[in-house]
Amino acid sequence: MKLLFDLFPVIVFFIAYFLAGRSPEAAAHLTGTLLGDLGLGSDVTVKQAPILLATALAIVATVGQVLFLLARGKKVDKMLWIGLAIIVVMGGATLILRDATFIMWKPTVLYWAFAAVLLGARLLFRKNLMQAMMGKQLELPESVWSGVNLSWAGFFLVMGALNLLVAFNFSEQTWVTFKLFGGMGLMLVFAIGQGLILSRYMPDHEEEKK
């Protein structure tokens, strides 16, 4: 359930983009009206409409996530605050300048921000964030926790570079599809791989019973 909540803005972006692509004239009119009401101008072409509408709705979805958590009195993760700031800045630039380049850079900026947080916390504050998040579920040697933290930071760095590769070497539609299925699929494969590696450090069921 949490995974769907975390991916909600990405799913909204994907659905909005492809629905707008099926009715580009209607999407252009809707997007122009929406942006015009916000004072960002109503000049939206049929070609621009899908990415602009998807970007606008992704911003709304991310803001909605934060407001939903605050309304329920729950803590908003730092990563979500970072994601909100990045989508507002990069998405806002795309809407204002009518340039998809900014929203295409957004996943890379987010991935690299995650990597910077993991590495910065470790190097500057001697704090292992992966251990802080997962330490209650797993008991691992300190050296293994260091490896987990470093491997996730490396994964985010690679994902950021891969996003740029797809964004600027393939079609816009290919990038949108990769943004959801490629990013989610690679993260799932990486997480499963890490789980298999870390399983050797988990206590045997019979030993637990003893």
pLDDT in tens, the chain (210 residues): 677 788 899 999 999 999 999 999 999 999 999 999 989 888 999 999 999 999 999 999 999 999 999 999 999 988 899 999 999 999 999 999 999 999 999 999 999 999 999 999 999 988 988 888 877 777 788 888 899 999 999 999 999 999 999 999 999 999 999 998 998 899 999 999 988 888 877 665 444 444
Number of H helices, E strands in the chain: 10, 0
Q: Determine the pLDDT at residue 131.
A: 86
Among all chains, which residue has been given the structure tokens 């947080």?
Answer: 117
Q: Are 84 and 63 in contact (CB under 8 A)?
A: yes
pTM (global) more than 0.85: yes
Residue type, 86: I
Round to whole Å and give the CA distance between 147 and 198: 11
Domain boundaries, the chain: 1-99, 104-202
Q: Are 176 and 21 in contact (CB under 8 A)?
A: no
